[in-house]
Amino acid sequence: MTGRIGIVACETFKMEMENILEGDAEDVAFKEYLEFGLHEYPEELKKAVVEKVNSLEGRVDAVYLVYGICQSLKGITTRMKLPTVMLEVDDCIGALITSEEYERERKKCAGTWYATPFFCEKGESWFDKKLLKDLGEEQVKALEEQGYDSMWFLNQLFNGYSRALFIDTKVGDGQYFEALSKKFADKLNLRHESRDGTLEILRDGLRRTRQLANGG
């Protein structure tokens, strides 16, 4: 009997994981994508992933936690009640270009905004949502009345950035995502560049999870 696996992933990986699982998900008994942004609140992130994974006890044989370390998840699998595999990279960017390439790109330009297909589609909407969560609706409205709109905050946030790097993971319409990346870069006066990503790290994690589920 084939072991059952559960997948608990950050929504930043949804397009890539759906691409990998297409036609190859018979052993996936559970799958959920958690909201992006929890890494900004480390305790919330740890609580969310531990509770979600442990809730699968008895339902699956192993879990694929599709997260990088994200500043706060180092060693988190020791708190899981199930055999759990997670990504051995700093964050979602390292997972999609490899840690070595990530370091190379950071050395090339420290002030880089990395635009994966997920971030291309989110655009500035995620920053607006974060602003509301951090400050509250009333405070945001009060600041807007004083002339501090979301674009003002976006410019403050990206102060010191000089490059936007589109990462083409070959899922969906690459030209569409690249155009969104360029639009965002133009809005913030960032130099725009593009490069290929990889799905191999995500595939390897899935392979290791399946091995665990089958007693390997």
Q: What pLDDT is attached to residue 216?
A: 72
Residue with tokens 């913030």: 188
Q: How confident is the model at residue 37 (pLDDT cuts 50, 70, 90)?
A: confident
Q: What pLDDT is attached to residue 123?
A: 82
Contact status, residue 80 vs residue 53, Cβ threshold 8 Å: yes
What is the arithmetic mean of pLDDT over 43-63? 95
The token pair at 97 is 């270009």
Residue 39 has pLDDT above 90, yes or no: no
85-118 pLDDT, tens digit each: 999 999 999 999 999 999 999 999 999 999 999 9
- pLDDT, the chain, mean: 91
Rounded alpha-carbon distances, angstroms, from residue 128 to 16, 133, 136, 154, 179: 25, 9, 11, 9, 21
Rounded alpha-carbon distances, angstroms, from residue 94 to 8, 99, 104, 197, 212: 18, 5, 11, 10, 24
What is the arithmetic mean of pLDDT over 51-67? 97
154-212 pLDDT, tens digit each: 787 889 999 999 999 999 999 999 999 999 999 999 999 999 999 999 999 999 999 99
Q: What pLDDT is attached to residue 128?
A: 67
Rg of the chain over Cα atoms, rounded to whole angstroms, equals 19
Q: What pLDDT is attached to residue 99?
A: 96
Residue with tokens 């297409």: 22
Name the phi and psi angles at 87, rounded to 5. -75, 135
Q: What pLDDT is attached to residue 138?
A: 75
Q: How many CB atoms lie within 10 A of CB 91?
A: 20
Contact status, residue 60 vs residue 161, Cβ threshold 8 Å: no
Give, for 167, the enclosing helix (H) or strand (E): strand 163-168
Residue 33 has pLDDT above 80, yes or no: yes
Q: What pLDDT is attached to residue 135?
A: 63
Cα separation, 145 vs 132, whole angstroms: 15
Domains in the chain with CATH codes = 5-93+199-213 (3.40.50.2300), 99-196 (no CATH)
- The amino acid that residue 52 corresponds to is K
Cα separation, 13 vs 190, whole angstroms: 25
Give, for 48, the enclosing helix (H) or strand (E): helix 42-54
